[in-house]
């Protein structure tokens, strides 16, 4: 199995602009269902967390999901349904962090 044919686990951090937390959460809640309908993610549902910085008190959201393969995110960028979520996100986001994650064996 090549890297591009394997699932790609993502850790996405969404930091809303001040006062836009509810708007952003509404969009994040729609994100995985759209990707799933388009067949771009694995069948394992996304996990979404509300996080609060212990120093600043500011809230943000973390979403963990898996693209079905290394090509899926590029396909998503050409989808009107996905862009209907991503474009409004740009308006309410202060920052967005995208990270591919993989497990690490802590015993080695």
pLDDT tens digits, one per residue of 47-85 = 999 999 999 999 999 999 999 999 999 999 999 999 999
pLDDT band at 22 (very low <50, low <70, confident <90, very high): very high
Backbone angles phi, psi at 34, to 5 degrees: -65, -45
What would the two tokens of residue 101 be?
């994650």
Structural domains for the chain: 8-100 (3.30.70.100)
CB 58, CB 34: distance < 8 Å: no
pLDDT at 7: 97
SS3 category, 59 = strand
The C-alpha atoms of residue 91 and residue 85 are separated, in whole angstroms, by: 11
Q: What is the pTM of this model?
A: 0.91
CB 48, CB 62: distance < 8 Å: yes
Q: Give the other-Cβ count within 10 Å of 21's Cβ.
A: 18
pLDDT band at 5 (very low <50, low <70, confident <90, very high): confident
The C-alpha atoms of residue 24 and residue 48 are separated, in whole angstroms, by: 12
- Bridge pairing between strands 8-16 and 93-100: antiparallel
């Amino acid at each position: 199995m090549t890297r591009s044919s394997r699932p790609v686990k993502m850790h996405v951090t969404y930091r809303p602009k001040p006062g836009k937390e509810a708007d952003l959460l509404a969009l994040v809640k729609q994100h995985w269902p759209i990707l799933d309908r388009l067949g771009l993610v694995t069948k394992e549902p996304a996990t979404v967390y509300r996080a609060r910085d212990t120093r600043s008190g500011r809230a943000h959201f973390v979403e963990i999901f898996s693209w079905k393969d290394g090509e899926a995110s590029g396909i998503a960028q050409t989808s009107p349904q996905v862009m209907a979520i991503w474009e409004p996100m740009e308006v309410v986001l202060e920052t967005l962090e995208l990270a591919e994650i993989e497990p690490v064996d802590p015993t080695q």
